[in-house]
Amino acid sequence: MSKVKHVRIQMIEELLKTNKKVFVKELSEYLRVSPETIRRDLDELAQMKLVNRFHGGATMYKKVEKEPVFEQKLQSNSIAKKRIAKEAATRIENGDIIAVDVGSTTVHLASYISGKDITIVTNSIVAADAFSQALERQQFTGKIILLGGYTNPTQRSVHGALTLNLIDNFQFNKSFISCGGLLEQGIYDFDLDETLVSSKMIRNAQQAILLVDGSKVNISSLVKFGDVIDIHEIISDVVYPSKWNRYKYIWTKVQV
The most confident of 150-159, 177-186, 204-213, by mean pLDDT: 204-213
Going by their DSSP bridges, the two strands 141-146 and 223-226 should be labelled as unpaired
Distance between CA 135 and CA 101 in Å, rounded?
18
- Other Cβ atoms less than 10 A from the Cβ of 122: the count is 29
Task: Output the pLDDT for position 111.
Answer: 95
- The identity of residue 100, as a single letter, is V
- Other Cβ atoms less than 10 A from the Cβ of 244: the count is 17
Distance between CA 153 and CA 163 in Å, rounded?
16
Task: Give the pLDDT band (50/70/90) at residue 69.
Answer: low
CB 24 within 8 A of CB 38: yes
Task: Output the pLDDT for position 15.
Answer: 87
Q: Domain 3-60 is in which class? A: mainly alpha
Task: Output the pLDDT for position 68.
Answer: 53
pLDDT tens-digit map of 1-33: 687 888 888 889 888 888 888 899 999 998 999
Nearest to 201 by CA among 123, 90, 88: 123
> Does 72 have pLDDT greater than 80?
no
Task: Output the pLDDT for position 50.
Answer: 84
> Does 116 have pLDDT greater than 80?
yes
- Give the global pTM: 0.72
Instruction: Name the segment(s) of the chain with CATH classification 1.10.10.10.
Output: 3-60
> Does 120 have pLDDT greater than 70?
yes
Instruction: Name the segment(s) of the chain with CATH classification 3.40.50.1360.
Output: 70-253
Task: Give the pLDDT band (50/70/90) at residue 63.
Answer: low
- The identity of residue 10, as a single letter, is Q
Distance between CA 60 and CA 81 in Å, rounded?
32
Distance between CA 176 and CA 109 in Å, rounded?
9
3-state secondary structure of 63: coil
Distance between CA 22 and CA 15 in Å, rounded?
7
Q: φ and ψ at 230, to 5 degrees?
A: -85, -5
The most confident of 34-38, 64-68, 96-100, by mean pLDDT: 96-100
Higher pLDDT, 195 or 245: 195
> Does 91 have pLDDT greater than 90?
yes
CB 38 within 8 A of CB 31: yes
Q: Which fold has domain 70-253?
A: Rossmann fold (3.40.50)
Task: Give the pLDDT band (50/70/90) at residue 122.
Answer: very high
Average pLDDT over residues 109-126: 97
Return the H-helix or E-strand segment holding 58. strand 57-60
Nearest to 235 by CA among 252, 255, 250, 218: 252
CB 94 within 8 A of CB 88: no
Q: Which of 6-15, 35-44, 82-91 has the lowest mean pLDDT?
A: 6-15
- Other Cβ atoms less than 10 A from the Cβ of 181: the count is 22
The most confident of 7-11, 91-95, 214-218, by mean pLDDT: 91-95
- Give the chain's mean pLDDT: 90
Distance between CA 122 and CA 131 in Å, rounded?
10
> Does 43 have pLDDT greater than 60?
yes
> Does 76 have pLDDT greater than 70?
no
Q: Is 191 left (phi over 0), alpha (psi -120 to 50) or beta?
A: beta
